Structure 1
Amino acid sequence: MRVLLIDIDSLRPDHLGCYGYDRPTSPGIDTLAAEGVRFTRAYASDTPCLPSRTALAAGRFGARTGVVTHFGDGQWYDYNASGHDAAPNAPLAFRHLSRHGVRTATVSSFGSHHSAYHFSGSFTDAIQPTTRKDDETAVDVTREATAWLNRHATDDDWLLHVQYWGVHHPYHDVADDVETLRDGDWTLDWPDGDALAAQRGMTGPRSADLWPTPDVVDDPDYEAQYGDWPILDRFETPTDVVHLVDGYDASIRRIDRHVKRLLAALDEAGVRDEVTIIVTADHGEALGEHGLYAEHGLAHPPTQRVPLIVAGPIVTDPDRTIDAQVYQFDLTATLCPLFDAPVPDGWDARPLTDALRDRSVDGRNALVCGHGIFTFSRAVYEDDWAYIRLLHPGVFSHPELFNAPDTEGPAAGLELLHDRQADPHMTENLVADRPEVADRLRGRLADWRDEMLATTDAGGTDPLARMAVESGPFYYVDPEELAAYYRRTDRSERQVRTVERARSFPTDR
């Protein structure tokens, strides 16, 4: 068995043609999807980058491993083993495969970039694409990945993980691809002028009112760091948002070309038809939802829903969509039977092998997904419902939350409930209107949390709540600097008060 796992940072599935997008962003990935299956409701259990890839490598929730954020104690993997032994019931996935005869390799700077040595160290080969950590390009990644394939493509039993940053902002070198995309007849359907008006007055960076963080907004070199496609300071009209989405979509198209180059390397080696190819992402990206732009700052579908495409000899009936609700880390358990390795008892991941072999897969009735930068929050996804609970809102005043009637009790002002079928952009908070649904999903979250606390490796505490108390979710944002910026620029007193209360916000533990 041979597996190529392509991991594209910040890629949301609804901007791929194979998921229904009507711009030609992904011709190579679309062709691959037609040869395989695509999961339409796959979610990262923990976001953003570090929690997500740790969950993938561990086959477990961040609440069990302790990795729930990018900083402080919440970034360190709690390794429940001793000495050189593997964790007895929950080994890291790629190390587990290595111990069952699989040559595993990663071409990625992720381990270095996020001090995630538990991730990179779990592979047989860990290849840093370049020493220019802050200036890495997709060209660097593809060069090293194709070199590895040139050496090993015809070997038996290997897995190659290839990770691209290129869809994450800033959007460099995309002007030519923007022009190509603009040749079509695509138009932005949302946010429109009314949606942008409703978001006016929201607090926090990465919002329509203020995209940069306050420490760089007055920097004369601010736009220069964003290359040929700078992100605007504010989004006042739909045209401003189109500029942003053009950069995002063009970045996808650029990475798509590199995906095609990896597939060409398999063709040149004569093994393309013998390789199982997977395309996924660590998380997605908000493009206006809950007032956030080009950022992953909340537990909600734009951040946590990811593409999951599997093609190759393991797929018996290609060009299918699978609507079962799954975690992205279920991929970890799916790889084991492909390599005749057992699925460890201590993993939360479940195999999706039956779905690849044209057999029914039930998926999960509900998913619970955590998030740990800008806000500390969790979401419950059940059918078309999305319930979001903020443990700490950071410096943000999401319009759907703070413009809605408060509920009663300890969750007042910290909950969102959306019917995604009726309201796909999640502009209406239904917590007060649908109390029976809110109660049910609130109960699901409480039951899940109780189960995690009973079995966690993190000392019997909720690491996400602990980090909200100990560090606060002020990732790249100093509340005092932001409040001072709002005063200096004559923003509303409400905005100033919202930011000032952030440090003393009562956190639900």
Structure 2
Amino acid sequence: MRILFIDIDTLRPDHMGCYGYHRNTTPNLDRIAAEGIRFNSYYCSDAPCLPSRASLVSGMFGIRNGAVGHGGTAADRRLQGPARDFVASYDQENFHNIFRQAGMHTVSISTFAERHSSWWFHAGFQEIYDIGKRGGESGEEILPVALDWIERNGSKDDWFLHLHLWDPHTPYRTPLGFPNPFKDEPLNSWITEEVFQKHLKHVGPHSINELGMYSDYESPEHPKQLGKATNLAEMKHVIDEYDCGIYYADYIMGQVFDALEAKGIYDDMAVILTSDHGETMGELGIYSEHGTADQATCRIPFLMKWPGGMRGHIDHSLHYSLDLLPTMADLLGTPKYENWDGESFSPVITEGADAGWDSLVISQMAHVCQRSARFGDWLYIRTYHDGYHLFDREMLFNIKEDPYEQFDRKEELPELCDKGARIILDWHDRAMMKSRAEIDPLWTVMKENGPYHTWHALDNYVKRLTKTGREEGAKELINRYKTKQGLWW
């Protein structure tokens, strides 16, 4: 059997054609949905990049594997400890080793491990291609490596190829000669002039005033990436460039599909498409970032074409990305391990049956410290550190009626906040009882000066807010993080 696993960084599903986006961003990738299954409610358990892949590769929630942030102690996976044998079972029971246990030759074309010093990601791969730019590359540098490997090895049987593209990730970096096909195409956006004016007053990194996180700096190395947007036309440029990154990744994958078809192997092979996280494009006042535990950041695409599996099917059940480990083990007939936290959804693939969770808990600790409960039509967000966005401690959104998280309903529906908080509490208790560690890594992050992307930024950001007419926000940040030392509720 041959399996192509497409890993496109920072890809939110509602910017793909097969998920209903009005722009034709993904004509090549959409064929996977037509030839297989589209999952509508698929989430990373832990965001963003490093924590998401740590949970997928280990099969464990971040609260158990320990890697929940981008810096400090909690950016590394926990050691296995006294139970470690000659080899660590964590690296033998991981996602990539499922395919080796099934008799496949395993290959990765990715710079992820080097970008985040997350060398555990390589466990289980027999071939690794890292072009050495730590995620700064674009697709035209990856494509020759992928095409060369397919030319040399594609006709062989029993391989698993992980192919990773960064193009939708900030800074948006399609090649200078690559045109913007959406330049004259309207956004049809929920962001009206009234909404945009509110966003201009937003306090927090990666607002529309600070697309460079805490500043409006524009790097000459990335001329397509604006530092800020002051009107709707510039805001459209920001979203256009994100969409161009998706379109360019799709263009690259179209050439990969052509190479597989030229080998005569595409029709009979498995193809899987997913991402590590999505991207906020105005939700909660944030643009071009993936720094929250919400719908925009944690809902990710999942498309799967499986030989003998369902075709043209749409699944609406709730799933975690870490559910993929027991699912692949079921499909390939390999062992399943007690250490995994996921639940198999293989009946969806083989029969179109329902197989999902009643609720999910999603986490973010690199930019903010948040845990959220996703249940029914609702998203309940509980914030421990607001990442300087001045979020309330609790927020509640009906994501069916309000998918862009504009209307916080907590005041009118306290009983749903109670339900969301109880879902998080029960999940936390189960995870900590299963964990070998005594400390929830959320509190490790909080005790180590907060989320990594807030370190050493407050003083200069307060000055910038004052200079740009957001003095009240500056005063509130000082009150929360200077006067009360972070104990702001």
Settle same-fold status: TM greater than 0.5: yes
User: In the aligned structure 2, how far is the partner of 1:144 from the partner of 1:326?
Assistant: 32
Task: Find 1:493's aligned residue among 461, 472, 483.
Answer: 472
1:360-375 matched pairs, under 5 angstroms: 360-375=353-368
- Superposed displacement of residue 223, structure 1: 4.1
Counterpart in 1 of 2:240?
246
1:116-127 matched pairs, under 5 angstroms: 116-127=118-129
Matched, 1:301 2:295: yes
Worse-superposed segment, 141-150 or 298-307: 141-150
SS at match of 1:149: helix
Residue pair 1:299, 1:371 contacting (<8 A) in 2 also: yes
User: In the aligned structure 2, how far is the partner of 1:113 from the partner of 1:79?
Assistant: 20
- Superposed displacement of residue 195, structure 1: 1.4
Deviations 1:352-404 (A, max 9, x none): 21111123123100000111222111111111100001121121124xxxxxx
Deviations 1:180-220 (A, max 9, x none): 22354x43322112212333432222112333344x54x5x
Counterpart in 1 of 2:439?
461
- Superposed displacement of residue 499, structure 1: 4.8
Letter of the structure 2 residue corresponding to residue 330 of structure 1: D
Matched, 1:505 2:473: no
Counterpart in 2 of 1:483?
462
Counterpart in 2 of 1:109?
111
Counterpart in 2 of 1:59?
59
Counterpart in 2 of 1:408?
none
1:15-34 matched pairs, under 5 angstroms: 15-34=15-34
Tell me how many residue pairs correspond in the alignment: 484
SS at match of 2:429: helix
Letter of the structure 1 residue corresponding to residue 358 of structure 2: N
User: In the aligned structure 1, how far is the partner of 2:290 from the partner of 2:423?
Assistant: 24
Name the CA shift for 1:314/1:476 in 2 (closer, same or farther; >3 Å): farther
Matched, 1:273 2:254: no
Counterpart in 2 of 1:403?
none
Task: Find 2:225's aligned residue among 205, 230, 236.
Answer: 230
Residue pair 1:377, 1:391 contacting (<8 A) in 2 also: yes
- Superposed displacement of residue 489, structure 1: 4.0
Worse-superposed segment, 135-144 or 415-424: 135-144
Residue pair 1:391, 1:507 contacting (<8 A) in 2 also: no
Counterpart in 2 of 1:470?
448
- Superposed displacement of residue 155, structure 1: 2.7
- Superposed displacement of residue 327, structure 1: 0.7
Deviations 1:285-341 (A, max 9, x none): 0000000000011100100000000013142x3112111111112122222233221
Task: Find 1:95's aligned residue among 70, 94, 97.
Answer: 97
SS at match of 1:505: coil
Q: Which runs of 5 or more structure 1 residues have no equivalent in the other structure?
A: 399-412
Q: Percent identity at matched positions?
A: 29
1:127-138 matched pairs, under 5 angstroms: 127-128=129-130, 130-133=131-134, 135-138=136-139
Residue pair 2:60, 2:340 contacting (<8 A) in 1 also: yes
Residue pair 2:481, 2:488 contacting (<8 A) in 1 also: no
SS at match of 1:207: coil
- Superposed displacement of residue 232, structure 1: 3.7
Counterpart in 2 of 1:282?
276
Letter of the structure 1 residue corresponding to residue 225 of structure 2: P
Letter of the structure 2 residue corresponding to residue 141 of structure 1: I
Q: Which runs of 5 or more structure 2 residues have no equivalent in the other structure?
A: none
Counterpart in 2 of 1:401?
none
SS at match of 2:181: helix
> What's the Cα RMSD here?
2.2
Residue pair 1:204, 1:397 contacting (<8 A) in 2 also: yes
Residue pair 1:203, 1:209 contacting (<8 A) in 2 also: no
Worse-superposed segment, 14-23 or 333-342: 333-342
Deviations 1:137-160 (A, max 9, x none): 212222222222223323332211
Residue pair 1:89, 1:345 contacting (<8 A) in 2 also: no
Letter of the structure 2 residue corresponding to residue 482 of structure 1: Y
- Superposed displacement of residue 88, structure 1: 7.5
- Superposed displacement of residue 162, structure 1: 0.7
**TM value normalised by structure 2:** 0.93
Counterpart in 2 of 1:396?
389
User: In the aligned structure 1, how far is the partner of 2:6 from the partner of 2:79?
Assistant: 26
Residue pair 2:372, 2:420 contacting (<8 A) in 1 also: no
SS at match of 2:155: coil
Name the CA shift for 1:269/1:395 in 2 (closer, same or farther; >3 Å): same
Matched, 1:439 2:418: yes
Deviations 1:449-496 (A, max 9, x none): 111111123x22110232122231250661011112223445313324
User: In the aligned structure 1, how far is the partner of 2:78 from the partner of 2:104?
Assistant: 25
Name the CA shift for 1:231/1:449 in 2 (closer, same or farther; >3 Å): same
